Structure 1
Amino acid sequence: MSVGAYDIRVINDLVERESAFVERLMTEVHKVIVGQDEMIERVFMGLLCHGHVLLEGAPGLAKTLTVSTLARCLHMEFKRVQFTPDLLPSDVLGTVIYNHQTGSFTNRKGPVFTNLLLADEINRAPAKVQSALLEAMAERQVTIGDTSYPLPKPFLVLATQNPIEQEGTYTLPEAQLDRFMFKIKVGYPTAEQELQIMQRIGGAPTAAKIEVQPVIGPDDIAKVQQTMDRMIVEQPVQKYIVDVVAATRTPGAVGLEKLAPFIDFGASPRATIALFQAARAHAFMRHRGYVSPEDIKAVAPDILRHRIILSYEAEAEGKTVEEVVRAILEHVQVP
């Protein structure tokens, strides 16, 4: 499918207008958060793509603060649930309450009924709680008693997990990890950024008290999502997305026979869809109405790192998922 120059120009102009808020949004978030540009961008991209985000990083890297600040800038409701081993599904989803005075039952909605839900340390809750939340993520609705309630729009789950502390945790199974659109590895700030953090927040009671202005709201997000549906992803670029994901299953097809023993399972078709959507969001954030292979390369590591299962041989040789994805992106032919 080829697209005329006029169509590209029209879509570009539309995207340029609709994405004008991006810099203002980042400016407001950075009143509170120092650095962490990629984490902020990916969380917002997840919101645009109806995709949930898993944040992995050591404690104290502003994961919770980033989500709460973004919620204030987007004029959305934000709730946080601290996942613990004694948490029950009803603590997240809601429950049925019996009223002794009236002799009737009423449904009480849980914290999942919000726009942005932070599932803090999701791997500390048992599998029953994880499954209940992930079902809500997939179905966008929750059943309490005999009644099903739709979740607010937009709805985004941001889950965190600590990679360095495994005692007392319940590892998310691969099938559940696949439900997350992005897996973001949150790193430490640079020395300059850490100095700014100390100077800005060191003497303040809490960073959450720093004033930020709402930039856009839920209705604006819905409009942006409609604009993204009109963005141009030409046929060769679509094939490139499919080829990248297929190479995680059969690396020999792109000349990476040596990589095959290191991969037990490649990414599912859900990864193809996620890569397509994320590439559009990446282009939108850069005020472009069309997707290029560079957009795909930029988001592929965050889309694929939790969807590729490495073999014991890979672990024995110290191979990482990041190295596998990098090799695939270097060898798959770019249109």
Structure 2
Amino acid sequence: MPRARSQQVSLSDTPYYHCISRCVRRAFLCGDDSVTGKSYEHRREWIESRILFLSHIFSIDICAYAVMSNHLHLVLHVNEIQAKTWSAHEVLNRWHSLHKGTLFTQQYARGDTMPSYAVELAERSAEAYRERLTDISWFMRELNEPIARQANVEDGCTGRFWEGRFKSQALLDDASVLACMAYVDLNPIRANIATAPETSDFTSIKQRVKAAKTGTQPKALYPFVGNEHKEKNEGILFKLTDYLQLVDTTGRITRQDKRGAIDLSLSPILQRLGIASENWLTIAIQFEQNTHGVVGQEQSIKRYKNLQPRSRPNQRCCRLLA
């Protein structure tokens, strides 16, 4: 049986998660349907726009994403500390950009004069919304439900559009986070729908490359801050240039089908992660095949507190990340 979502997401153990949603129907999420000849390519823009919009509403950062023909990938970072700093007014304004809320929350957000009992109810609602704005399940709901409704209207049908629920994996350490990000960013290249990271439409890597050309980082994506900013802990603790070079090199090897042709162990980022080049290629190219549930290096798995008594970590993944 699948594990309950509450047992899969434990923010006390890790704020990083890999989420995947897949279509249940034969009709494509995006791309071109070779059977009917109909193009669904415009739906990629729907999804990317929704992802980037939600990144400004939720206290959940987008580390990586890729919108494929019948599924999408996300690497998310839950920022509980940020959400705790929001005032009740800010929480309500954010939530009202998604839903109407209640009469009391609308009055409270406007600053109307209210009786004490109504203020209490509005503030209680704000605390409930604050929790939702750090909840991955709510994030995925707010992403998937509008897309499903739009697609059903366009297809002239009703019923389920997505599979029963999204899949999520806990990423316990830097090695698993970066390996998963690279896997997500390289999905279009592996699927042979792009030839380079910078030409991979509707992916986070294209956004990062585009911004890097101007010396900036995308505001909607969780930034790389470099090792020198560990004390700030407000981003991914590696240099963006190192990551872009690593993804580009891995992508070239993937396209040429010459694994190991370039010695990836020379990359500073892999040296700091302590991952051998062959192991990196295996995990970055075949992340889903080699991982499930909880992903991390062996010492991170041992620290993980919320595994079910009968659950066992993927030992092959632990070895690949070593």
Q: Do both share a fold (TM > 0.5)?
A: no
Higher relative CO (CA 8 A, sep ≥ 6), structure 1 or 2?
1
- Bin the TM-score by the shorter chain: under 0.3
* TM-score, normalization by structure 2: 0.26
Structure having the higher strand fraction is 1
* TM-score, normalization by structure 1: 0.25
